[in-house]
Structure 1
Amino acid sequence: MASSTTFQKRQKEQNRQNKRQEKDARRKQRREELDRGRSSAEPGVDPDIAGIVPGPQPVAEDL
């Protein structure tokens, strides 16, 4: 009886490790995709403010 409990615990722990590894792989892939998107911007230019023109803005009706 005790050996089956030990086996179940081992199996449960292996499942946890596999799930953790899959999750880490997904996170790494997501980070790489985000980095690829960011690297396409010009160096030294903040992508949050790229394309913003200083000064008076056109009236919304003119757009």
Structure 2
Amino acid sequence: MAKPNYSFAKRQRDLAKEQKKEEKLQKKNAALAETAAEGEVVEGQEPGEEAPVSETTAEDKPAN
């Protein structure tokens, strides 16, 4: 009788997980793009303004 090929089964499970994760990411990105396309306003922001960009420098970051 043939032995089960556990490494093949594991690889198939890993590929299925990866594919499911990618589908979730694409779905999330599509929802974000749709929200941005609708022109939702960020809280405290006037319509037509761009979102504020925070600039950080090496001095602002805490040392490890």
TM-score (ref. length: structure 2): 0.58
Report the residue type matching 2:6 in the other structure: Q
Q: Which of residues 14, 31, 35 in structure 1 aligns to 2:12?
A: 14
Code of the aligned partner of 2:28: R
User: How far is 1:46 from its partner?
Assistant: 3.8
Amino acid at match of 1:48: A
Residue type of the partner of 1:39? A
Partners of 1:27 and 1:37 in 2: how far apart? 15
Task: Call closer, same or farther: CA 1:46–1:31 in 2, change over 3 Å.
Answer: farther
Seen in structure 2, the aligned counterparts of structure 1 residues 32 and 46 have a Cα distance that, compared at 3 Å, is farther
Structure 2 unpaired stretches of 5+ = 41-47, 53-64
TM-score, normalized by length of structure 1?
0.59
Supply the RMSD in Å over aligned alpha carbons. 2.3
The corresponding residue for 1:37 is: 35
For structure 1, the residue ranges without an aligned partner over 5 or more in a row are: 50-63
